[in-house]
Structure 1
Amino acid sequence: MSIKDSDLKHLITMSCKNNLGYMYFLNNIVIIEFDEGVHVDLKNTKSLFKQLKKYFGENKPFGVVANRVNSYSVKLLDIPAFRNQLKNLSGYAVVGHDPASIMNAAIESNFCLSDDVGHDNIYEAIFSVNNKVKKRLKAS
């Protein structure tokens, strides 16, 4: 289910569309819903990073929840480079809604340096990422 169709839609402060899909901004978290069939890699994420930096700045801790409402691919070897682009990224989660997307979330978890990032519902993912952001805010 898309965040815009959930009972959490009232938390959305801003949304935008880019070449990869939709971004829904909450206070300290962005929910990204990539379009069907896109391939996410370092070459095509420039506008995504620009929008993240515009909303959160260079220093404010924030988190990302990838809500897998569509099927897409990620160049897993680019994940460390993604993190280098976003020094203030404090938490990341992937929500899978079917067996294939849950499996992809588990695979992505293996390439992340944080705890298990795969979740089967948006509420759990937002809670987890928000806690990581809060810890980073307290530490700064």
Structure 2
Amino acid sequence: MRFENSEFFKLKHYKLEMPFGNFYFFETFFISEINEGIHFDWKMIQEAMDYVVAFYGADAKLGYISNRVNSYSMTPQTWNKVQKKYNIIVAGAIVAYNKMNYLNASLEKRIAKTTIKRCLSLSEAIEWIQNLKELDNK
């Protein structure tokens, strides 16, 4: 389910529209929805992360939800590259809507040094992110 069609759309957020997808910024986490057929490469990731850092600050500690409502590709090792360069994502959730997405998320989870949770719904991912002790959401 797209974020904008979910019950969570009423939560206070900022929307960033980019040519390759949309990003939704909340107080302690952000959600990405990458467009259909995109290869989400390092250049695009850097462009998006530069906005994330500008919005939250370089010392932020954030949760990240990849809401995979569309089919797209990326290199699984990207999680570690993002962590090495930016070091602001404490944990991530991948919302998989089909078996192939779930298998890809499993591969990413094995490779990434960051904690990654595979989820079957956006609500599961948001609930998990909001309850992370590392984000001090209390």
- Deviation string, structure 1 residues 68-115 (Cα, Å, up to 9, x no partner): 000011111232111122212111110011222222222211122244
Q: Which residue of 2 aligns with 1:122?
A: 122
Contact 2:31–2:65 (CA<8 Å) still a contact in 1? yes
Q: Which runs of 5+ in 2 are unaligned?
A: none
Structure 2 Cα separation of the partners of residues 115 and 83 of structure 1: 11
Q: Which residue of 2 aligns with 1:135?
A: 134
Q: Normalising by structure 2, what TM-score?
A: 0.88
Moved more, 6-15 or 73-82: 73-82
Number of aligned residue pairs: 137
- Deviation string, structure 1 residues 42-62 (Cα, Å, up to 9, x no partner): 232222011111111111211
Q: Secondary structure at the match of 1:75?
A: coil
Q: State the identity as a percent.
A: 23
Q: Which residue of 1 aligns with 2:104?
A: 104
CA RMSD of aligned residues (A): 1.8
Q: Normalising by structure 1, what TM-score?
A: 0.87
Superposition pairs of residues 1-140 of structure 1, within 5 angstroms: 1-132=1-132, 134-137=133-136
